[in-house]
Amino acid sequence: MAFPFKLPLLLDGAAGTNLIAADMPQGVCVEDWVKENPQVMQRIQAAFLEAGADVLYAPTFGANREKLSHYLLEDQTQQINKALVSMTKETAESEALVAGDMSPTGLFVEPFGEASFKQLVKVYEEQAACLKKAGADLLVIETMFSLAEIRAAILGAKKTGLPIFVTITVDDDGRTITGLDARTALLTVQAMGVSAFGLNCSEGPQSMAANIQRIAPYTEIPLIGKPNAGHPDPEDPSRYDLSPEAMGQAMKALFEAGVQIAGGCCGTTPDHLAAIRKAMDAFDFKAVNIQREEPAAVLLANESESYFLSRDTIRLSEPVTCGEDMEDALLDIDEDACDAALIMIENPEDGYEFSLNAHMLHLPVVFRAKDEKALERALFYYQGIAGIDSACGISVEAKERLAQRYGSAIL
């Protein structure tokens, strides 16, 4: 699918640190406070627009039902999202796109938390629907670190039909706090059909450029870089140590690494954004030549790693049946003797049961199912890129439809 907007594209700067600098009280629900004091956020957005932003993020970062429930505001999910998108559209007029902003819920999916994956999808589906109804031009899923939340947000957002950008937050080694590496995240969301992928927050431009370089050879979609303005001042959390001029110069490394969609995260003021705009306008993006990795292989992934396997020589484990002895069967798989675990899905409940035990495997997974409903349930719950065994007892059309919906690979 062709990218829906003209490149390069300049995103806006920080919301949180600029609101703090504008004397937003501590301990409040940011989204509700902005709804009640729209003129503060609109002044910040207008300054970003004047600095050259092509996209303004509606300040809906924590406006999902779960986050709002911490302030007993969950029943105002629709009203808050509508108000924040409307005020952003009022600022943007016809000069910039408006992105509906979505972020982590703070929930952990079972078996490591109490939330079900289906519950998580519904939380994001509700917010995404609110953002579309309010008039957002695209959806941005940002500051993510868990593959389960990323997938849940994408599955919820895809129902809107809007373009979807995804950005994750990683350390200097390119991994999130849950151990997800940036390449696996890229390959998974790319297979699921998002419009752009990249990194935001957690680091300055130079460190982020090194991580972008690692994933650029594997991308088929535009890359995003939205770094912090260096490191925060210990005495003033709204101020960071990278000046606008220094940040503008440092952004060149991101552009050279392959970023075509840029902006600023924590600490970036309108002056920082103006410097990024200047650097972007002076850069020759057409001169960037990334050597692409195009392995003639099957791409599979689990929740932390990605694997390129030979279609002709892939070795599957002995079939594992979901049931009481599944834990022992998974632990008994000889990882030296096979490339992927073959999981038998007899009924729709098997996919859910396997998801509770999938963390025991350090291999990718191939599903063999008897019917379409059972296979779809397994693909829905699996956190990664699963293989669909050609021996599944369903039509080719059904397999292709499910592979496209969940980013799976047909073997």
DSSP type of residue 386: -
pLDDT confidence bin for 271, thresholds 50/70/90: very high
**Is residue 238's pLDDT more than 80?**
no
Q: How far apart (Å, rounded) are the C-alpha atoms in residues 165 and 142? A: 8
Q: CB of 360 within 8 A of CB of 383?
A: no
**Is residue 251's pLDDT more than 80?**
yes
Mean pLDDT of 293-322: 87
Is 71 exposed, middle or buried, given 0-12, 13-18 or 19+ CB atoms closer than 10 A?
middle
**Is residue 70's pLDDT more than 80?**
yes
pLDDT in tens, 33-65: 999 999 999 999 999 999 999 999 999 999 999
Query: Given this model, what pLDDT does residue 226 score?
Result: 98
pLDDT above 70 as % of the chain: 99
Residue 249: half-sphere exposure toward Cβ, Cα within 13 Å: 4
Mean pLDDT of 15-43: 95
pLDDT in tens, 84-124: 999 999 999 989 999 999 999 999 999 888 899 999 999 99
Helix-, strand-, coil-residue percentages of the chain, each rounded to 5: 40, 20, 40
Query: Given this model, what pLDDT does residue 292 score?
Result: 86
Query: Given this model, what pLDDT does residue 304 score?
Result: 83
DSSP type of residue 76: G
Query: Given this model, what pLDDT does residue 295 score?
Result: 64
**Is residue 294's pLDDT more than 80?**
no
Q: What is the mean pLDDT of the chain?
A: 94
Mean pLDDT of 355-377: 93
3-state secondary structure of 367: strand
Query: Given this model, what pLDDT does residue 190 score?
Result: 95
3-state secondary structure of 370: coil
**Is residue 365's pLDDT more than 90?**
yes
Query: Given this model, what pLDDT does residue 123 score?
Result: 97
Query: Given this model, what pLDDT does residue 152 score?
Result: 97
Query: Given this model, what pLDDT does residue 303 score?
Result: 86
3-state secondary structure of 115: strand
Which residues, in sequence order, are bridge partners of residue 316?
Answer: 340
pLDDT confidence bin for 1, thresholds 50/70/90: low
Residue among 304, 255, 297 at smallest CA distance from 278: 255
Domains within the chain, CATH numbers bracketed: 9-287 (3.20.20.330), 298-410 (3.20.20.20)
Q: CB of 184 within 8 A of CB of 407?
A: no
Rg value, the chain, Cα? 22
Is 114 exposed, middle or buried, given 0-12, 13-18 or 19+ CB atoms closer than 10 A?
exposed
pLDDT confidence bin for 296, thresholds 50/70/90: low
pLDDT confidence bin for 231, thresholds 50/70/90: confident
Q: Would you call the peptide bond into 348 cis, given omega within 30 degrees of 0 as the criterion?
A: no
Mean pLDDT of 281-290: 95
- For the chain, count helices (H), then strands (E): 15, 17
